[in-house]
Amino acid sequence: MKPANKTHIDYAYELDLVVKPDSRVPLFEREYAAFTGAGVPLFSIGGGYYRYALIDILARFHARRGYYVAETPMIASSLLYQVSGHLDFFRKNMFIFQIEGHDYAIKPMNCPYHILIFLSHLARYRQKVRLPFKIFEAGRVHRYEPSGSLYGLLRVRAFTQDDAHIITREEEATDAIIGVFEEMKLLLEKIFHMDLDPGKVELRLSLSDKSKIGEEFMGTLHEWETAESALEEAAKSIRDKYGFNYYSEEGEAAFYGPKIDVVMRIEESGIEKEWQLGTIQFDFNLPRRFRVYDMVREVYGEDTRVFIIHRALMGSIERFLSVYLDYMKGRLPFTLAPLQFAVIAIKTGGDSDEEISTIARRIHEELVKMGFRSGLLETTKTSLSGEVRRIESTIKPAVTVYIGAREAREGYATVRPFIHSERRRVSKRVPLSGGYAASIVEAVKDLEDGVVELAGYAPRIPGDLSHLL
Ligand code: ZN
């Protein structure tokens, strides 16, 4: 198969991110999807590492930018979604079930829980709670989508949002929006090595139709005007500072508030597509329903007006992953790649084979001890090019390390990291002095610079993944 024809589903399977839903469970003659249910991705071992590392980075990144970090329950009493209004306007997308005669819902959105947490803080700590109050969660949600619309990781029924809610004073809303845009830019550029070219990225503002406020669009004219002018002011300042254009679509807002979506045009197999990145959405519905306005005025004083903003930088982990895999042809960043190192011992059938083997094994074992995910493969020179091609086209290690006869004799390793900005591997000759693995890690340290800059450290989730090679 030509790489150009691969879809994100092929990449996700080859990288061991997910178990292929339409493959069969051995000895059962049933597909995996028959066990998980349609549209519910079963992340595999590689996918587990990816998710844990990413969520760890996201939590630390947000915490360092003033967000509180939450983790809310997967189910809720239906009362929560009755008060939020979801049972009225989102019911057909919700999974609802009964226990002891009482209705429960599987969480379709994190917002109502975040608002409960905010209210509990206001009640307990009063004015000591500082605004803007920002709360982040890598929140897994479940929503019913018709089976015909499900596709790979792109359209699923179970997904994890990089979700946050910002409760801000009206006059600070513009700064909050600019802050979110900058967070998205940092995350995509530093963690995912994406090039946010102003020629390809635009901001789409979905605004109200002013003549229908109070009918199709809920809330007061004051709320819509202030929110929309905050959005436009933010969009202008983002344009002036970073060069990203924006455009407005009147009448396209949700009934509960205006929003900005960040959209990137990408080309895929010759077809231009829109990739929706971050989103920033005002909400005039939830604060009324949970009486947030009343509580805020009681705590901070009568003239305090706030907005509640929903925002996501990636959208969902699953959907983002699906587009990213296509966009980068299956190349995940070093910190997130299931297999960070593939250590390949190239034997020749000669006297040096034992030494080659010993060095390669030592490097691999040390890497795992240092907290990396590594795989060891011992092969013979005659089969090398086939082996390398197979590994490169499937599991795609972030760094490949070769030890052959020459390397063993002269005391170095050939280290080939994949460089996202150049979209190719480079080759380095790394002298093996002292700790073998330590010199190799030192030589590729810059692959993690972006993660360390944003999260303060790079997660170390080790694994011996030799069986994947
Ligand atoms: Zn929300």
Interval 314-356: pLDDT, tens:
999 999 999 999 999 999 999 999 999 999 999 988 899 999 9
Indicate the residue type of 121. H
Going by their DSSP bridges, the two strands 96-99 and 102-106 should be labelled as: antiparallel
322: left (phi over 0), alpha (psi -120 to 50) or beta: alpha
> Which residues line ion ligand 1, judged by CB < 5 Å?
111, 310
pLDDT digits (tens, 9 = 90+) for 164-222: 999 999 999 999 999 999 999 999 999 999 999 999 999 999 999 999 998 889 999 99
Asked if omega into 112 is within 30° of 0 (cis), the reply is no
The domain 341-468 having CATH identifier 1.10.3720.10: the answer here is no
* Residue 88 a catalytic site member: no
Q: Is 163 part of the annotated catalytic residue set?
A: yes
Which of 469, 385, 454 is closest to 53 using CA atoms? 454
165 labelled catalytic: yes
Q: What are phi and psi of 268, to 5 degrees?
A: -140, 120
CA 326, 327, 331, 332 torsion-angle sign? negative
- 121 an active-site residue? no
**CA 406–ligand 1 middle distance (angstroms):** 58
Q: Residue 183 Cα, ligand 1 centroid: separation in angstroms?
A: 17
Which residue of the set 62, 142, 161, 340 is catalytic? 161
Catalytic residue among 51, 86, 111, 281: 111
CA distance 308 to 170: 10
Considering the entire predicted model, what is its pTM?
0.96
- Rounded to the nearest angstrom, the distance between the alpha carbon of 286 and the centre of ligand 1 is 9
Among candidate residues 6, 190, 259, 347, the one labeled active-site is: 259
Q: What is the CATH code for 3-72+110-327?
A: 3.30.930.10
Per annotation, catalytic residue among 16, 56, 163, 283: 163
pLDDT at 272: 87
378 CA to middle of ligand 1, Å?
A: 50
The distance of Cα 116 from the centroid of its chain, to the nearest Å, equals 25
Q: Residue 111 catalytic?
A: yes
Is 329 an active-site residue?
no
Asked about 319 being catalytic, the answer comes back as no
Positions in the chain short of pLDDT 50 = 1-3
pLDDT of residue 33: 93
Q: How much distance in Å is there from the Cα of 267 to the middle of ligand 1? A: 30
Measure the CA–CA gap between 210 and 223, rounded to whole angstroms. 11
Taking the CA atoms of 439, 440, 441 and 442 in sequence, report the sign of the dihedral they define: positive
Centre of ligand 1 to C-alpha 110, Å, is: 6
Model pLDDT, residue 1: 43
Catalytic residue among 143, 204, 311, 420: 143
Active-site residue identified among 114, 310, 396, 420: 310
The residues spanned by each domain of the chain are 3-72+110-327, 341-468
Q: Alpha-carbon distance 50 to 165, whole Å?
A: 24
